[in-house]
Structures are given as structure tokens and as C-alpha cells.
């Protein structure tokens, strides 16, 4: 009908979840590449909340991870950062994040962006029916991780062809773990993370063992 013919096309929103401890150029290239290939209007970075401890490891304060993500994305008019997960005071699953993004942007079409390593986990442990109702999934290549979809294949067969798309992106063998390790050892993280993030890490003494802050 006429209403439909004149309606604007649905906004396409990328959602990039992560711990971002710290955010690095691997995250930014992934978001940028998916935004380009899928013609997204915006990519929303969603840092995970604090209570969620990565395999029992210590995670930097949510506010620091949030601010680093803001600093890293500030210059890109299509990138933004959501506080949704850091303000929810409980363990966050991808499905929670997507539900919240959906209700904040009811008319948008959501694309959840994830690296090969994280995608396998999400699809293995969570409720498929709801996940795929909420978003399309875009898995990006990541050096050192083979995307093994063997155990997912029988499920994937039942889904629409565009429910999960795998794409090849420029390979950046950068991880937050390695950035933290380098910072802890006084080695440079320049050019692995945006300049403002290098400066923020040093200003807030992130990742350096307690008591050695002044010595770098
Ligand atoms: P950590 O080493 O602490 O696990 P990380 O580098 O994996 O950190 P996360 O915050 O865990 O970063 O990742 C957020 C998302 O970004 C995940 O979907 C992850 O697969 C993806 N990702 C991270 N680094 C890269 C990279 N170098 N190339 C492609 N995708 C990446
Ligand atoms: Mg990771």
C-alpha cells in the first residue's frame, strides 16, 4: 500500500559486542568492513558489563572500557557506543544485548558482528530461535582461529541463507590479551590500539602490576 511504498527503508544497525579491554584495531577494522559490506547506517559498540568475568580473569572497570571505546570510535560518524550492558548489573548474554538493542531501535534491522572465535561460542550455547529472530549474524575472519561450523551445520540448514554470513576481513593478529600483556611488560601498544587509547591506558595505569605505576 501507499504507506509502505513511501516508508523509508529500515535502518541497518551493526551491533559489536565485546569486553574491549582494551579496544584495538582488530575490532575497528571488523566493524568498518562489515558496515561497508552490509551498507549499515551505524555500528553500535556494546562493552560487556562488569560482573561478567572472563574465565575468572580480572577485567578492567566497565567505565574505563567504555571510555576507551568512546575514544576509539569518536572520529567515525557511523560508530557509537552503548552503555546498555555495563548498566545491566548481571551477567549479559548476546541475547540480552540484542533484546535491548531491538527495543531501543524497534524499526531497525540488526546485524550482530563477531569474530570467528566468539561466533562459535554464541551459537553453541544460546537459544537459536530467539537469536535469529533478533538479528542477522556476521562472522568475521580472525587470524589464529578457524571458524569451525561443522557441529552447527545441521542447524544452519534450517535457517534462512542470510541468518549467518561469514566474511573475510583484512587480517590483524591483534588481541586485547596481547595488548594487556604488552602494557604490563612496558612494551609498546602504539599502532595496535588508537593513539587516544594508548594515552588513556597510560594515564589510568591500566594493566600495569599494582605498585609499579610510576616506573614505566
Ligand atoms: P581478549 O583477548 O581479552 O579475549 P579480544 O581481542 O578477543 O580480547 P574481545 O573484546 O574479546 O577482544 O572481542 C570482541 C569481538 O571482537 C569478538 O567477537 C572477537 O571475536 C572480535 N575480535 C577481536 N579481535 C579481533 C581481530 N583481531 N580480528 C577480528 N575480530 C576480532
Ligand atoms: Mg576475545
**Reported confidence tier of residue 2, pLDDT bands at 50, 70, 90:** low
pLDDT at 216: 45
Start-to-end CA distance of the chain, whole Å, equals 66
Q: Whose CA is nearest to atom 8 of ligand 1?
A: 176
Please compute the mean of the pLDDT values over residues 93-115 and round it to a whole number.
Answer: 95
Alpha carbon 20 to its chain centroid, in Å, reads 7
In the numeric block, the cell 544485548 is attached to 97
Comparing C-alpha atoms, which of 19, 47, 45, 21 is closest to residue 32? Answer: 45
Mutate to test the pocket of ligand 1, among 49, 169, 175, 177 (most ligand atoms within 8 A of CB): 175
Residue-wise pLDDT tens digits, 10-68: 999 999 999 999 999 999 999 999 999 999 999 999 999 875 555 566 899 999 999 99
Q: Whose CA is nearest to atom 13 of ligand 1?
A: 18
Residue 79: pLDDT over 70: yes
pLDDT at 54: 57
Residue 102: pLDDT over 70: yes
Residue 5: pLDDT over 70: no
Q: Give dist(CA 113, CA 34) in Å, integer.
A: 8
Ligand 1 binding pocket includes 30 (Cβ within 6 Å): yes
Q: For residue 145, give the ligand nearest its CA.
A: 1
List the single range of 52-66, 128-142, 167-181 with lowest mean pLDDT.
52-66
Q: Is the backbone of residue 125 left (phi > 0), alpha (psi -120 to 50) or beta?
A: alpha
Could you tell me which residue, 17 or 155, shows the higher pLDDT? 17
Instruction: Tell if the pTM clears 0.95, that is, is over it.
Output: no
pLDDT at 150: 67
Ligand 1 binding pocket includes 47 (Cβ within 6 Å): no
What is the three-state SS of the chain?
A: CHHHHHCCCCCEEEEEEECCCCCCHHHHHHHHHHHHHCCCCEEEEEECCCCCCHHHCCCCCHHHHHHHHHHHHCCCCCEEECCHHHHCCCCCCHHHHHHHHHHHCCCCEEEEEEEHHHHHHHHHHCCHHHHHHHCEEEEECECCECCCCHHHHHHHCCCCCCCEEEECCCCCCCCHHHHHHHHHCCCCCECCECHHHHHHHHHCCCCCCCCCHHHC
Q: What percent of the chain has pLDDT over 90?
A: 69
Please compute the mean of the pLDDT values over residues 182-208 and round it to a whole number.
Answer: 97
Question: Rounded mean pLDDT of the chain?
Answer: 89
Please compute the mean of the pLDDT values over residues 180-188 and round it to a whole number.
Answer: 97
Amino acid at each position: 500500500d501507499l504507506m509502505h511504498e513511501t516508508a523509508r527503508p529500515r535502518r541497518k544497525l551493526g551491533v559489536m559486542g565485546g569486553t574491549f579491554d582494551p579496544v584495538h584495531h582488530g575490532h575497528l577494522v571488523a566493524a568498518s568492513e562489515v558496515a561497508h559490506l552490509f551498507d549499515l547506517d551505524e555500528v553500535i559498540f556494546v562493552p560487556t558489563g562488569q560482573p561478567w568475568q572472563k574465565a575468572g580473569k580480572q577485567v578492567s572497570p566497565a567505565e574505563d572500557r567504555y571510555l576507551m571505546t568512546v575514544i576509539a570510535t569518536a572520529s567515525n560518524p557511523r560508530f557509537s557506543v552503548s552503555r546498555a550492558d555495563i548498566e545491566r548489573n548481571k551477567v549479559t548474554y548476546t541475547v540480552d544485548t540484542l533484546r535491548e538493542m531491538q527495543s531501543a531501535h524497534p524499526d531497525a534491522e540488526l546485524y550482530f558482528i563477531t569474530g570467528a572465535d566468539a561466533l562459535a561460542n554464541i551459537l553453541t550455547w544460546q537459544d537459536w530461535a530467539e537469536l535469529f529472530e533478533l538479528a542477522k549474524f556476521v562472522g568475521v575472519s580472525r587470524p589464529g582461529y578457524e571458524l569451525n561450523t561443522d557441529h552447527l551445520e545441521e542447524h544452519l540448514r534450517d535457517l534462512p541463507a542470510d541468518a549467518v554470513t561469514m566474511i573475510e576481513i583484512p587480517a590483524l593478529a591483534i588481541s586485547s590479551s596481547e595488548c594487556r600483556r604488552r602494557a604490563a611488560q612496558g612494551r609498546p601498544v602504539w599502532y595496535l590500539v588508537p593513539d587516544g587509547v594508548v594515552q588513556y591506558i597510560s594515564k589510568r595505569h591500566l594493566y600495569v602490576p599494582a605498585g609499579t605505576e610510576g616506573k614505566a
